Amino acid sequence: MSVYKIHLTGVGGQGTIKTSTIIGEAAIKRGLNVVMSEVHGMAQRGGVVTTDLKIGDAHSPLIENGDADLVIGFEPAETLRSLPKVSEKTFVITNSARIVPFTVGLGLSEYPPVEQIISELEAKVKHLFVINAEELANKAGNIMSLNMVLLGAATAIPRFPIGKDEIIQSIKENLPPKTIEVNLKAFELGFKEVSG
Amino acid sequence: MDVFKILEAKENSKLFLLGNEAAVRGALESGVSVVSTYPGTPSSEIGNVFSKIAKAAHVYFEFSANEKVAVEVSAAAAASGLRSFAFMKHVGLNVAADSFMSIAYLGVNAGMVILTADDPSMYSSQNEQDNRIYARLANVPLIEPSSPQEVKEFMKYAFDISEQFHLPVLFRTTTRVSHMRGVVETGELVPPKERGFFKKEPNKYVPVPQNSRRMHKELIEKMNKLALLVNESPLNKVFDFGDEIGVIASGGAFNYVMDVVKEYNLPVKILKLGFSHPFPEKLVLDFLSKVQKVVIVEEVEPVMEKEVLAIVGKYGLNNKIYGKLSGTMPRIYEYTPDIVKNSLFKVLDKEIEAKEVLKPESAIPSRPPVLCPGCPHRATYYAVKDAIKELGLKDVIFPSDIGCYTLGIQKPYETADFLLSMGASIGTACGFAHATNQKVVAFIGDSTFFHAGLSALANAVHNKAKAVIVIMDNRTTAMTGRQPSLSEPVNGIGEEAPELSISDIAKAFGVKFVETVDPYNLHKTKEVFKRALRYDGLAVVITKHPCALITDAEKRKRNFWITFRINQDKCTRCMVCITDFACPSFFVAEDGSVHIDPLICDGCGVCTQVCPYNAIEVRK
């Protein structure tokens, strides 16, 4: 099969790396090769966290501009920042709930209204899914399950190369047992957002 | 992933491992007995995993005081017949270099691998030095893996070569290999030898000049033998996709070559060098006879390029060599698939189609890394600045050091003016004190103090430097992921260990002004700083409070977490909390009112001492 490329972006603490690992381990269950890049160290705290995942016959873990098959944005401004990865073929899932960095309070940068970000994404992205993942995570029982809402949505995307069962199995193996119920509920809510 | 999987996974399991985790498995499959390190990104996760599994694996593991000590611990083990593994970030090898050079002369008795995690593009480092040059300087074998699977496999090979030739092996990864996750197929674990025996042979192990002269000759002889073997090494391979041009690549850069060549069906013959020093002359000579044009793809220095040019010169060949020196490849930073693609296309005379790249138009807020909510360093910086302001001091110089507190460089703190390397805050404070009439306030963390600050402090005392040295004791090595520091009563495998008192050390060194204060108490801290700044001599102030990530974990465990809110009736929107304290949990709403985000607030309460109107209160 050709290489399927997923770019995840979010803010430190939102669970982007965990989500990527869950997808990667699920790919292995399906017998696929997978490579992934992670950001560690000084860049973590409150900073932008991105990961690239390539599923299939790939050696390097980096995704070039315009080359992503799927972009999962955990925060609207971060989805917009990753716009260069997007082209006509790309499916984009974005959370619409924002995290305002302290630089805005200090007057060092500005955060545009979410509506403006979403309308720019709508104008430029052919296959866009906007989800209030924060609201759905709260509905599932815990804001911390926000990443599972987005993973659920991703799993429902056409051409997503891994089955729902494999993803669910990987979630069970990667998250603390007492959180599984809430996380799977969040996953289903996200899945339904895309599958309808 | 549960890190115990790295130890417990049966043979032929497929794990999704980081390059760093694969290094652990590789060492365990090599029967490693002794492992030592000082934490440093991008190598840190290797230590984090060993720290958890070492006991169960019957491996001796320690977080050493610094990288020099780490290679010394491993060198002694290898001299005693135990396989040993020392690892560090690239600049850590500078610290270890003195001993590293000698280990090459002395040689080893059992396999010894030294892993250097280089950081092209400087994701978390002060420079992007290419440590492949160290292999040449010390004249030791160099192994360069490209993927987690190779990290694991090559590790075993490195141990074997080391043992066979009685030489330490340098094992070079880069950030993209250390922090790349990939499928790793496990092999058989080899149980470690529990105890070694050191056979006394002073002529072999003591490099006094008469011995060193012989040792250098022996080193050259060993490397000459390896220079033959390297041509046959399974780590060096040709991937044949055509013969229009050739590519010689190593490490992470090889991955970009493979992806580009496959994706665009390029007629390229690739020579991948996994064992790259001694340089495989015969193999490269053979390669050069098959392709006239050869592109060298390597990160960061033109190391292999110069080796290839030397071969071309030595044999009077007419090959055309493209790389950094020819201007074909970028001279600095890490590569990307597009960089490699464009360079290969250029040499192949293929047209590069202009890519239309989407660009965001709306403003996107910047998210620089920040001191966490509840970070004791924020309180220290706030108190120092306040003390300086109250005393009316101008042009105070702030030498800084390596740690989270380097983030003091940012607004509004601006408490990092000069930085060289680990421990250098105190050394440079001495220099500024003697060279200027300005007040000097140096900042150093507890772990960094033990790493390389001790001798600098001794220097400050003896050479009578007048400065304030602030040792920010947050009870851990925070930035690299909270590994235990020597000032904590616990060691690298979670056992009780003697806690070294920084205060006692400073006093024993002869520092007359030594004060320890909890920075969460802003008023008291400010008063201590005022006295230190007025003191005519060397003052040491220890600001002692655990890292907020430690206290957060405890609070989470106890399920006891308070947060704060702003009483809007009392808030005058003076903005001191935002502009001077700058905790990331504060934000200004669209109507201009100030709020604390309860999801981010750590509940430290230090801000309540900052607000002049007592408007910050516990959220009920």
Do B545 and B419 lie in a common domain?
Answer: yes
Instruction: Say whether residue B258 is in contact with chain A using an 8 A CB cutoff.
Output: yes
User: Mean pLDDT across chain B, nearest whole number?
Assistant: 96
Task: From B230, B248, B275, give the residue that closes a domain.
Answer: B230
> B142, B277 in Cβ contact below 8 A?
yes
- Residue B319: CATH number of its domain: 3.40.50.920
The pLDDT tens digits for B186-236 are: 999 999 998 999 999 999 999 999 999 999 999 999 999 999 999 999 999
The pLDDT tens digits for B463-509 are: 999 999 999 999 999 989 889 999 899 999 999 999 999 999 999 99
Domain presence at residue B35: yes
Measure the CA–CA gap between B468 and B391, rounded to whole angstroms: 15
Do B414 and B340 lie in a common domain?
Answer: no
Measure the CA–CA gap between B462 and B466, rounded to whole angstroms: 11
Smallest Cβ distance to B180: which of A61, A66, A112? A61
B positions 354-373 inside 8 Å of A (CB):
355-372
Question: Which tokens hold the place of B363?
Answer: 């403003």
Domain presence at residue B81: yes
Query: What is residue B425's three-state secondary structure?
Result: helix
Backbone angles phi, psi at A91, to 5 degrees: -90, 135
Q: CA torsion sign, B44 to B130 to B250 to A68?
A: positive
Instruction: Say whether residue B122 is in contact with chain A using an 8 A CB cutoff.
Output: no
A positions 46-75 inside 8 Å of B (CB):
46-48, 57-62, 64-66
Measure the CA–CA gap between B396 and B438, rounded to whole angstroms: 6
Domain presence at residue B61: yes
Sheet of strand B236-240, all strands in order from the earlier edge strand to the far edge: B236-240, B268-273, B245-249, B293-297, B320-322
Say which residue, A108 or B157, is predicted with more confidence.
B157
Q: Which amino acid is at A151?
A: L
Chain B residues whose CB is inside 8 A of the A105 CB are 578, 582, 586-588
In this model, does residue A55 exceed pLDDT 70?
yes
In this model, does residue A1 exceed pLDDT 80?
no
Do B64 and B208 lie in a common domain?
Answer: yes
Q: Which of A93, A14, A20, A13 is nearest to A51 (CA)?
A: A20
Does A62 contact B370 at a Cβ distance shorter than 8 Å? Answer: no
The pLDDT tens digits for B534-580 are: 999 999 999 999 999 999 999 988 888 999 999 999 999 999 999 99
Measure the CA–CA gap between A147 and A21, rounded to whole angstroms: 12
Count Cβ–Cβ pairs < 8 Å, chain A vs chain B.
172
Does B336 contact A62 at a Cβ distance shorter than 8 Å? Answer: yes
Does B368 contact A44 at a Cβ distance shorter than 8 Å? Answer: no
Q: What is the 3-state secondary structure (H, E, C) of chain A?
A: CCCEEEEEEEECCCCHHHHHHHHHHHHHHCCCCEEEECCCHHHCCCCEEEEEEEECCCCCCCCCCCCCCEEEECCHHHHHHCHHHCCCCCEEEEECCCCCCHHHHCCCCCCCCHHHHHHHHHHHCCEEEEECHHHHHHHHCCHHHHHHHHHHHHHCCCCCCCCHHHHHHHHHHHCCHHHHHHHHHHHHHHHHHHHC
- Residue B215: CATH number of its domain: 3.40.50.970
In this model, does residue B520 exceed pLDDT 50?
yes
Query: What is residue B131's three-state secondary structure?
Result: coil
Does B258 contact A60 at a Cβ distance shorter than 8 Å? Answer: yes
- Residue A128: CATH number of its domain: 3.40.920.10
Q: Look at the block and give the residue holding tokens 């060298």.
A: B296
Chain B residues whose CB is inside 8 A of the A2 CB are none
Q: Which of B544, B555, B556, B477 is nearest to B515 (CA)?
A: B544
Q: Look at the block and give the residue holding tokens 């495989």.
A: B280
Domain presence at residue B317: yes
> B267, B350 in Cβ contact below 8 A?
no
User: Residue B268, Cβ neighbours under 10 Å: how many?
Assistant: 25
Do B225 and B239 lie in a common domain?
Answer: no
Task: From B230, B256, B290, give the residue that closes a domain.
Answer: B230
In this model, does residue B588 exceed pLDDT 90?
no
Does residue B357 have a cis bond before it (omega within 30 degrees)?
no
ipTM: 0.95
Measure the CA–CA gap between B382 and B580, rounded to whole angstroms: 7
**Averaged pLDDT for residues A148-157:** 98
User: Residue A42, Cβ neighbours under 10 Å: how many?
Assistant: 20
User: Mean pLDDT across chain A, nearest whole number?
Assistant: 94
Smallest Cβ distance to B365: which of A38, A83, A104? A104
A positions 124-183 inside 8 Å of B (CB):
124, 143, 174
Q: CA torsion sign, B220 to B224 to B229 to B231?
A: positive
Using CA coordinates, name the residue in chain B closest to A114.
B362
Q: Which of B445, B578, B458 is nearest to B519 (CA)?
A: B445
Do B571 and B530 lie in a common domain?
Answer: no
> A73, A57 in Cβ contact below 8 A?
no
Segments forming the whole domain that contains residue A169: 4-195
Chain A residues whose CB is inside 8 A of the B16 CB are 21, 24-25, 28, 34, 36
Instruction: Say whether residue B183 is in contact with chain A using an 8 A CB cutoff.
Output: yes
Q: How far is B459 from chain A (nearest CA, A)?
A: 30
Q: How far is B74 from chain A (nearest CA, A)?
A: 26
Q: In total, how many domains does chain B have?
A: 4
Q: How far is B213 from chain A (nearest CA, A)?
A: 43
Q: In total, how many domains does chain A have?
A: 1
Segments forming the whole domain that contains residue B498: 376-554
Task: From B170, B196, B230, give the residue that closes a domain.
Answer: B230
What is the number of alpha carbons within 13 Å of residue A11 lying toward its C-beta? 22
**Averaged pLDDT for residues A56-70:** 96
Question: Which tokens hold the place of B513?
Answer: 């002004």
Instruction: Say whether residue B1 is in contact with chain A using an 8 A CB cutoff.
Output: yes
Domain presence at residue B370: no
Give the pLDDT score at A44.
57
Backbone angles phi, psi at B175, to 5 degrees: -50, -40
Measure the CA–CA gap between B224 and B167, rounded to whole angstroms: 13
Could you tell me how many residues make up chain A? 196
Does A104 contact B360 at a Cβ distance shorter than 8 Å? Answer: no
**Averaged pLDDT for residues A80-88:** 97
Cα dihedral: A71, B147, A42, A151 (round 10)? 30
Question: Which tokens hold the place of B179?
Answer: 């922090």
Q: How far is B558 from chain A (nearest CA, A)?
A: 17
Q: Work out the burial of residue B247: count CB atoms within 10 Å of its CB; fewer than 13 is exposed, 13-18 middle, 19 or more buried.
A: buried
Measure the CA–CA gap between B588 and B581, rounded to whole angstroms: 14
The pLDDT tens digits for A20-49 are: 999 999 999 999 999 999 876 554 567 889
Q: Give the start-end residues of each E strand in B384-502.
A: 441-445, 468-473
**Mutation target among A32, A40, A54, A92 for the B interface, most CBs of B within 10 A:** A40
Does A86 contact B336 at a Cβ distance shorter than 8 Å? Answer: no
Domain presence at residue B460: yes
The pLDDT tens digits for B424-441 are: 999 999 999 999 999 999
Question: Which tokens hold the place of B282?
Answer: 């015969």
**Most trustworthy range by pLDDT among A91-105, B71-85, B542-556:** B71-85
Does A66 contact B358 at a Cβ distance shorter than 8 Å? Answer: yes
Give the CA radius of gyration of chain B: 27
Give the pLDDT score at B147.
98
Give the pLDDT score at A43.
47
Q: Which of B600, B552, B539, B549 is nearest to B384 (CA)?
A: B539
Query: What is residue B232's three-state secondary structure?
Result: helix
B positions 591-620 inside 8 Å of A (CB):
599
Q: Which of B275, B177, B289 is nearest to B232 (CA)?
A: B275
Domain presence at residue B353: no
Percent above pLDDT 90 for chain B = 93
Measure the CA–CA gap between A7 and A68, rounded to whole angstroms: 6
**Averaged pLDDT for residues A88-101:** 94
Query: How confident is residue B587, by pLDDT bands cut at 50, 70 and 90?
Result: confident
What is the number of alpha carbons within 13 Å of residue A189 lying toward its C-beta? 24
Chain B residues whose CB is inside 8 A of the A101 CB are 365-367, 584
Do B381 and B506 lie in a common domain?
Answer: yes
Give the pLDDT score at B510.
98
Does A81 contact B147 at a Cβ distance shorter than 8 Å? Answer: no
**Mutation target among B3, B15, B16 for the A interface, most CBs of A within 10 A:** B16
In this model, does residue A100 exceed pLDDT 90?
no
